[in-house]
Amino acid sequence: MKAPNFLLLLLLLSVIVPVIIQCDDNLINQICRRTPFRDLCIATLEPNTNSSSSDVKGLASIMANIVLGNASDTLNYIEGLIKQAPDPQQERALANCAELYIPVVRYELPQAIDALSKGHFGFANYCIADAGKQADACEKGFSGSAKSPLSDRNNLLKSLCGIAVAIINLLAKGLS
Ligand SMILES: *[C@@H]1O[C@H](CO)[C@@H](O)[C@H](O)[C@H]1NC(C)=O
Ligand SMILES: *[C@@H]1O[C@H](CO)[C@@H](O)[C@H](O)[C@H]1NC(C)=O
C-alpha cells in the first residue's frame, strides 16, 4: 500500500471506530471486555445500572461503590469472626485483616469515590489499587493451621478493584 493510501485508511478508521463504539448500545459489554475480569464485570454492573447511569463515568462510579460495599461487608464479617475465633493464631490473623480493612473502608475507598466524582482519576485509581493490595495482605496473614475464612471475599475484592481501575483508566483516556 502506498503511503498516501495508508494515511487515508488511518483517517477513515479514526472516523469509523468511534462511531462503532457509539453505536453499540451495550456499553457494559464494551467496557467490561476491556477489564481483566469481563464476566464478573458484567455480572456486577448489569443488575446495578439503568439508562440514567450508563456512561463510562457512571459505570466507574457504580463499580467503585460496589467495591466499597464489598469491603465494608467483609469488614463486618471479619469483626463477627473475631468474636468466635477458635484459636489465638486465627484470631491474630483476623485482627490483622480488620486493621487492614478499617482504613480501606473508612478513608481510602470513600476518598477514591470522591476523587472520581471530581475527575481526579489518578488518585482514585491509586486508592482503589491499594485497597486490592490490602485484601491480598489480609489473605497472606493466614498460615499453617490458621486457614483463611476470607479467601473468596479477598479474591472477589481484588478482582473488583482490578475492574474498577481498568474502567477508570478508560475514563482517564477520555472515553465517556
Ligand atoms: C438509576 O440509577 C441511578 C444511579 O445508580 C439511581 O440514582 C436512580 O434512582 C436509578 N433510576 C431508576 C429509575 O432506577
Ligand atoms: C459484592 O460484589 C458483588 C459483585 O460480584 C455484588 O453483586 C454484591 O452486591 C457486592 N456486595 C456488596 C455488599 O456490595
Per DSSP, the residues of 18-32 read: HHHHHH-S-HHHHHH
> Best substitution site from 38, 59, 61, 66 to test ligand 2's pocket, by max atoms within 8 Å of Cβ?
66
Model pLDDT, residue 1? 60
Please list the helix, strand and coil fractions of the chain in percent, rounded to the nearest 5, in that order: 80, 0, 20
> Best substitution site from 28, 45, 53, 65 to test ligand 1's pocket, by max atoms within 8 Å of Cβ?
53
Model pLDDT, residue 24? 47
Amino acid of residue 154: N
Model pLDDT, residue 3? 65
- State the 10-residue block means of pLDDT for the chain, 176 residues long: 69 63 70 97 92 84 97 98 91 97 98 97 98 97 87 98 98 82
Could you say which ligand is closest to the alpha carbon of residue 51? Answer: 1
CA of 92 to the centre of ligand 2 (A): 27
User: In degrees rounded to 5, what are phi and psi of residue 47?
Assistant: -70, -10
Dihedral angle of Cα 89, 94, 98, 100, to the nearest 10 degrees: 70
Tell me if 121 sits within 8 A of 171, measured CB to CB.
Answer: yes
H/E segment holding residue 74: helix 56-83
CA of 25 to the centre of ligand 2 (A): 25
> Best substitution site from 35, 38, 44 to test ligand 2's pocket, by max atoms within 8 Å of Cβ?
44
- Total domains in the chain come to 1
Full domain range(s) for residue 33: 2-172
The atom number, within ligand 2, closest to the CA of 40 reads 5
Which residues line ligand 2 at a C-beta cut-off of 6 Å?
40, 44, 66, 69-70, 73, 160
CATH number reported for the structural domain that contains residue 113 in this entry: 1.20.140.40
CA of 118 to the centre of ligand 2 (A): 24
Contacts of 35 (CB under 8 A, 6+ apart): 41, 162, 163, 166, 167
Name which residue sits closest to atom 6 of ligand 2, judged by CA: 44
- Which 3-state string (H, E, C) describes 138-169? HHHCCCCCCCCCCHHHHHHHHHHHHHHHHHHH
Could you say which ligand is closest to the alpha carbon of residue 48? Answer: 1
For residues 171 and 32, what is the distance between their CA atoms, to the nearest angstrom? 13
